[in-house]
Structure 1
Amino acid sequence: MKRSAYILLLAVALGSCKKSFLDQDPYGGTIQSSTYYSTLDEARSATLATYAYIDYNDWWQTQWWRQVSGEAASDNEWMGLNGGQPTAVQATHYTLNPENDRLEAQWIMIYKSIYQFNATIEGVQKAPIDETAKQQLLGELKFLRAFSYFDLVRNWGGVPLITKTLGPKDNTYERASAKEVYDFVRQDLNSAIGVLPNKAQYSSTDKFRVSKGAAQALLAKVDLYTENWAEAQTVAAQVINGGDYTLETAFGDIWKGSNFNGKESIFEIQYQYLTQYPNLGNIFPVASMAGTEGGWGYFTPTSDLENAYRDQGDSIRLNWTIMRHNFPVVGDPANPSFNANPAQSKSARFNRKIYIPRGERTPNNRYSKDHIYLRLADVYLMHAEASAMLQQSGPALASLEKVRSRVNLPTDHTLTGWALIRAVRNERRLELALEGDRLYDIRRWKDEGGQPVINSIFGPNGSFVKYNTQVSKDPYETTNLNEPQDKGAKFRAGTHNLWPIPTKEIIASEGRIKQNPGYN
């Protein structure tokens, strides 16, 4: 059973997901904009309670969407289990329509969370408490709000920018531009950086809380998304050189179930297993595991991803990222020959990073395994990417080598220009596969002609589509056609680079929120 005060607050009840994002009661009704915190303990408890809302504690709605939008809609994963769950298949195969229920649930849940962050910020600001302590709490809350707006803007582009508590009748919101949203995220993160402690300054029971390094790492990622290369390089270097984090010695140590908030971890979403709260826990070890191991069989890695590891001779990360039928599961001696049940699996491959060894499983399949959202290897690769885009091959190669040397891979120090950029991008895929970044990376990256990289991967002539339909001889993917082999063929450049705004939100706004291009 896990630690920390706020995890126990994950049992806060959630409201319905059937209304407009402003037409909602706050979660559990426990945090109101008029709340007056008279003591530091009250303000601190309210702040810790809000951590629960970054992942909404909702098994059946939004946790699922996080994996769909980050990985299953990319070239890293199939939907899996013979293409079940039709609303998720729409996203992964690019047939998504604005009425999709999971899409709407994700939008609403994020805005409900932002309501909580805004309300708690307002309450803490008014509290008659020590100013230094107050500013730290506000820094944590502003990071969480920035986290949520970053999620919104990279999925939908410009969105309504709501920075204070509003009532259901405040129906005057419209979309801010993507630049305005990114600028606000940057503003919140810079404010947080100025007041948050380093991770080392937290007690062992508070390691889950937002640190200065977490705000810096997220800011560096925001700068990558906005192609602010010089700032991304500078901020990433500050995290690397700050001394708060070090790479795990072995890549597999990152994924050990007992390694909570480890030395490489910068920020991770916490989960708790408690028998009295059956909906708590991390959904991915269940949803992303074979039925033979007590899972649901969704989100299965592609042979295209496996080939990327093989092309590099990268056996360490291959084995810790992809479990394959009839192969031993690395790190679990109790599973010497993994049974993927190929008849019920698109690719007969599953995600090792979220796998729970047999000896560590709980009776109700609700697991405490955290989701690592930011870690030091990611920051090294942010630094490498920003440096490569600035045509500074020396710093780029030094950071690239840090990541590759851990898995015993050499680094070609003659790389420059676009060859170096492609090498760094490929390294992000290998290092961070199935962790939730792949779709967003291929959307934001531009090729040598200035076009989004995703445009050449998907579409009827996309490289991933051609591989699967014309080249692949994979014995599982090419025979299990209940999930169509031409995944991504329906992708349309200029439309599917963002998700559609949910139709109900457009209606509720009386037309002030406009749909993304191509979805009307």
Structure 2
Amino acid sequence: MKRLIPIILSLSMTAVLYVSCTDSFLETTNQNNVNSESFYQTADDAVASVNSAYAMLQAHGLWGRSIFFLLDFAGEEVGTTANTQGPPLQLLNHTYTSSGNTHITTPWSNLYDMISKANSTILNVSEMEEMDAGLRDRVVAEAHFLRGLGYFYINAIYGGGPLRTADNLDEIHLPRSSAEEIWTQVENDLEAAYQVLPRKGEYSDADVGRATSGAARALLGKAHLYQEEWSEAETQFQAVIDSEVYHLISAEEFGGDPVAAMRSNHAPEVDNNDEAVFEVQFAAGTGFGWETDGTGLNETSIRPQEYGVNGFAFYNAVPATDLIEAYEDDDPRLEAFYFGPNSTYQGEPYPFEEDGWAWKKYQKTDEAEQSESDANMDVIRYADVLLMMAEARIQQGAVADGVDYINQVRRRADPSGAILPDRVTTDPSEAMDFLIHERRVELSGEQTRFFDLVRWGLAAEELGTFQNGKHEVFPVPQEEINANTEISQDDQNPGY
């Protein structure tokens, strides 16, 4: 008899909704014996319901910890230290299996936890007829965004999974749906979301960080891009660009200093700036929750500790040598994104000769990292949108247009053009080479590289132990196969 595990719970089965607190729209909510009849009574209940779905983004298996281990290590953006061991090494060497690697199993369960909470919100809040219609529709749209985001990662990481919606919440066991079926759900959810959600800047200060129409369109464009639906992707990216509510944070905003401008995108003290399209919100003060099942209150990310400076953090990862070598000489992004030979740390010269390069993205520079961080984590930012737009244009033959989008990102990094001159080409293959380079050096450590290499067909070439036909996706966790009567070993991804 199979053991039932709580990876796809509905809200009515959840004893406690954990959502976040302090400096943003999330606040701690404790609902004992929650069910749809007793809970969904007021506008506050509706907001608390969708907040519980947002809170899963902070979970141990997602941006709290495992997502960056899973994708940064599998994409070989990191190098090892004496402290690197266990599951991260398996990811780096592609020696993982369907069980035993927490950075593969917990994202699956936490993504489905988020999807379940979004489903409950959609099902119940949409029926709250006495609630203010504008707020009700916005909350439901936020839930559609979060469900679309969850299924986006189920597809990108695992190549498909059970398709649970508000229409089949009562069915515990569901078969595995195809990637194509999941992509259709992603598209439907994000289309429903962007038509209702406010634009960036239209939320009150207390609600900054919630999903926006721009975030939904950017993610929808990314979903189309991953399916090589270039025209559809371009349409969504163009809408984000035309909204004129996002821009690349420029040197002019920081006294002519491009390093300070780029640093601001990942500095713990700067959240939700004008380049941020969607960030996972974190706030210090509650400690990091080590629970892997999606329960427990977790406000903070552990990434800065894991990737921190030697002697002041766990120091489990450093920038990969070939990542650093990929930058053009004197690229200002080297100083913006990493501790290097010209850096300072805690007011002193960084010990580059002893320790080599270290991650600066999401790290403090003036004090040592503690066991918790309030640095928001990027899911999509405007530089990513511009580079995805570049790819969509190049793939449709509009090479000059595509290269111009690449150059916008380069000019922000080096306004003078003396270090990073504009790219010039009419050749689609060369333009794609420029694009591949630019995405690597601009978006390092932001969990895009592995997916990019897989969809470009370059993973086996760039990643030393990657096997074509196997490692494009990660295994469905064995716990899911054991627990779900509608899934068997025959449904496992090839090679696992």
- TM bin, normalised by shorter chain, reads 0.7 to 0.9
Residue among 4, 28, 33 paired with 2:16:
28
Q: Which residue of 1 aligns with 2:351?
A: 338
Give the residue type in structure 2 aligned to 1:354.
Answer: Y
Matching residue of 1:285: 304
The answer on whether the counterparts of 1:266 and 1:376 sit within 8 Å (CA) in structure 2 is yes
- Secondary structure in 2 matching 1:412: coil
- One-letter identity of the residue aligned with 1:329: S
| Deviation of 1:85 (Å) | 3.3
1:194 and 1:91 mapped to 2: Cα distance?
Answer: 38
Partner of 1:190: 191
SS of 2:379's equivalent? strand
Question: Aligned residue pairs: how many?
Answer: 450
Flag structure 2 segments of 5+ consecutive residues without an equivalent: 18-30, 251-260, 290-297, 415-419
Report deviation, 1:234: 1.6
Return the alpha-carbon distance in structure 1 between the equivalents of residues 118 and 330 of structure 2: 42
Contact 2:400 2:426 in 1 (8 A): no
Q: Distance in 2 between matches of 1:77 and 1:277?
A: 23
Q: Which amino acid aligns with 1:99?
A: S
TM-score, L = length of structure 1: 0.81
**Structure 2 vs 1, CA of residues 350 and 501 (structure 1 numbering), >3 Å: closer, same or farther?**
same
Task: Report the equivalent of 1:399.
Answer: 405
* Aligned counterparts of 1:172 and 1:82: Cα–Cα separation in 2: 43
Structure-1 separation of matches of 2:372 and 2:4: 26
1:62-106 Cα offsets, whole Å, 9 max, x none, are 73321122211113212x233633122212211011112412222
CA distance 1:35–1:199, change in 2 (3 Å): farther
Distance 2:353 2:125 in 1: 50
Give the equivalent residue in structure 2 for 1:37: 40
Candidates 455, 459, 467, aligned match of 2:460: 455
Of the three residues 334, 355, 360, the one matched with 1:318 is 334
Answer yes or no: is the 8 Å Cα contact 1:54–1:144 preserved in 2. Answer: no
* Range 172-181 or range 273-282, more displaced: 273-282
Instruction: Give me the whole-angstrom Cα distance separating, in 2, the residues matched to 1:183 and 1:23.
Output: 22
Structure 1's 414 and 84: CA in aligned 2 closer, same or farther, altered over 3 A?
closer
Scaled by the length of structure 2, the TM-score of the pair is 0.85
In the alignment, structure 1 residue 304 sits paired with structure 2 residue 306? no
RMSD: 2.4
Aligned position for 1:493: 468
Distance 2:394 2:222 in 1: 15
Partner of 1:411: 422
What does 1:111-510 correspond to in 2, within 5 Å?
Answer: 111-128=112-129, 129-164=131-166, 170-249=171-250, 250-275=261-286, 280-293=299-312, 295-309=313-327, 312-324=328-340, 327-329=341-343, 332=345, 334-338=347-351, 342=355, 348-359=356-367, 364-408=370-414, 409-445=420-456, 452-458=457-463, 488-489=464-465, 491-510=466-485
Compared CA separation, residues 292 and 341, structure 1 to 2 (3 A): farther
The answer as to whether partners of 2:57 and 2:64 remain within 8 angstroms in 1 is no
SS, match of residue 248 in structure 1: coil
Give how far 1:341 is off.
5.7
Provide the residue aligned with 1:68 in structure 2.
Answer: 69
| Structure 1 contact 314–407 (Cα < 8 Å) conserved | no
What's the offset of the Cα at 1:206?
A: 1.7
- Stretch deviating more after TM superposition (393-402 or 211-220): 393-402
Cα pair 1:174 1:512 within 8 Å, conserved: yes
Residues 257 and 138 (structure 1), Cα distance of their counterparts in 2 relative to 1, 3 Å cut: same
Residues 315 and 111 (structure 1), Cα distance of their counterparts in 2 relative to 1, 3 Å cut: same
SS of corresponding position for 2:201: helix
Structure 1 pair 126/335, CA: closer, same or farther in 2 (3 Å)? farther
SS of residue paired to 1:372 = strand
Q: Output one character per residue of 1:112-168: Cα deviation in whole Å (capped at 9) or x when no partner.
A: 221111112222111121222211111111101111111111011021110027678
SS in 2 for 1:315: coil
Secondary structure of 2:317's counterpart equals strand
2:479 aligned with 1:516: no
The CA distance in 2 between the partners of 1:275 and 1:37, in whole Å, is: 28
In percent, how many aligned pairs have the same letter? 27
